[in-house]
Amino acid sequence: MTRYPKSGKGKQWTTRELAAVPAAWKGDTLSDGGGLSGEVRLAADGRVSVRFKFAFRWDGRLCWYQCGTWPGVDLAEIRRNRDAARLQVAQGINPAQAKEAARIEKQRAIAETLAANEQERQERLTVADLFTAWLADGVNRKDGNEGLRRYYGKDIAPRLGALELRELQEGHIRAMLKPTVAAGKVRTAQVLLLIVRQALSWAEKRQPWRPLLIAGNPADLITEDSITPPDYKSERERVLSPAEIQELAQALTKPDPRPLKAQTQCALWILLGTICRVGELLHARWEDVDLKAGVWFIPEENVKGRRGQRQAQKVALSPFVLRHFRQLHALTGAGPWCFPASTPGTSAEVAGPVGINTISKQIADRQAMFSARAVALQHRRNDNTLVLAGGKNGKWTPHDLRRTGATMMQALGVGLEIIDRCQNHVLAGSKVRRHYLHYDYAEEKARAWNLLGERLEGILSGGAEILPMKRRA
């Protein structure tokens, strides 16, 4: 039904009249004159509104131009919109089409603005932005990238993180490495360089990073030799002598107000007696240790190495090692992990094993004389109770036990190939050969581990002659 203002047909509605329109008029048409009419609408909450439109003919067809909805749009503005549309029709312009074209143009302008803003944002991406993306999607280390995040957060982020990637140059990376080298942490600096090089190499091949590295990877311009002091030895040669092994055993049994944890002591002797890697031992589960059969299985996922080259290992436990595994089982055998993390309020399975650096920190804290730290860390040991031979042979680490055990095997006449297999090294040679030849040398390895265990028993009992150990050529 078409309704007209009180003033009559062809007249205009007043705001007061519109405000008095009843809900019962829902769907009716209000004629406002000059081709303008409105449809009465009713909202769910009972509020009345009027949607006004202008009627015009275009190419012989009746068309409509939306002028606004009262009361959201003022009546005066609605009529101005009608007048502007009527003028466009007189000028040969379809107002509805013009309105849609304007809408499209506005959207295009907005899209262009957003694209320009995004382009500017991408051009200003920082080293921190790159590492966030790389650590999330570009690399997948066995530890869940925990080690990479630690290196980044401690050394890379404070010095390079805020720098825009497009501005990153060789000099910035060298400046980042310089304090680490100056502190005597040459190996750490080499690792940092490798991490930065890998992240940038990943970015070179991908958007939006590639345009920011158009000049190439600046880390490729830096060689390890160029950041390494001339007197630096790239490989540690520290091997504990039999006398030092005896001294270590004595140091571990000395009364101490805060002795080295019993499970840590077990770990040291197991590391020495199996020549395994620290991470392999600390991530061990009791389900993989058969104390009756005297066998420890190291699954592939716990082995260091590149994906596809890792290989599981069965370690035959000598009586020496088996004894320490049994001592360890008495301490931690109730849970799934041989070396469980201590997290209050968390189950052993969820807490997982201890961190891979746990033992190294405990050993380093007890060799404070070799630390460059000016102030001792709180709640950490800071003494020299595990310094051996008065420190004349330098600091020792848990990894040195692996080298010590391997050197002992060599001195006992074990062949280098068998030693390599006991250490679970990926052996060089043809991939085809490695694919088809699967003899595991189980007997030979067991013999080597037993010889090593007997040698250690003799040293620690004090009943065996302490013979000098030969180093590998």
Q: What is the pLDDT along the chain (473 residues), one digit of tens a residue?
A: 889 998 888 889 999 999 999 999 999 999 998 899 999 999 999 999 999 999 999 988 999 999 999 999 999 999 999 999 999 999 999 988 888 888 888 888 777 766 666 566 678 889 999 999 999 999 988 778 888 999 999 999 999 999 999 999 999 999 999 999 988 888 899 999 999 999 999 999 998 998 888 889 999 999 988 888 887 765 568 899 999 999 999 999 887 766 788 999 999 999 999 999 999 999 999 999 999 999 999 998 888 765 556 788 999 999 999 999 999 999 999 999 999 988 766 665 667 899 888 899 899 999 988 876 656 667 788 889 999 999 999 899 999 999 999 999 999 999 999 999 999 887 655 454 444 445 678 999 999 999 999 999 999 987 544 444 444 43
Nearest to residue 283, comparing CAs of 359, 362, 345, 396?
A: 359
Q: Where in the chain is the domain with CATH 1.10.150.130?
A: 127-227
Phi, psi of 69 (to 5 degrees): -115, 120
**Cβ-contact 95, 131 below 8 angstroms:** no
Vertex 267: Cα angle to 263 and 270 (nearest 5)? 135
User: Using CA atoms, how far apart are residues 182 and 128, in angstroms rounded to an integer?
Assistant: 24
The pLDDT, as a whole number, for residue 431 is 53
User: Using CA atoms, how far apart are residues 165 and 152, in angstroms rounded to an integer?
Assistant: 15
The pLDDT, as a whole number, for residue 462 is 78
The pLDDT, as a whole number, for residue 471 is 42
> Residue 308: left if φ>0, alpha if ψ -120 to 50, beta else—which one?
left
Q: Where in the chain is the domain with CATH 3.30.160.390?
A: 2-119
b/e map of 431-449 (b: 16 or more CB within 10 Å)? eeeeeeeeeeeeebbbebb
Q: Where in the chain is the domain with CATH 1.10.443.10?
A: 242-461
Q: What predicted TM-score, i.e. pTM, was given to this entire model?
A: 0.61
Superfamily of domain 242-461: Intergrase catalytic core (1.10.443.10)
- Distances from the Cα of 69 to the Cα of 14, 94, 104, 174, 449, angstroms: 14, 21, 22, 66, 90
Tell me the CATH architecture of domain 127-227: Orthogonal Bundle (1.10)
Superfamily of domain 2-119: Integrase, DNA-binding domain (3.30.160.390)
The pLDDT, as a whole number, for residue 437 is 44
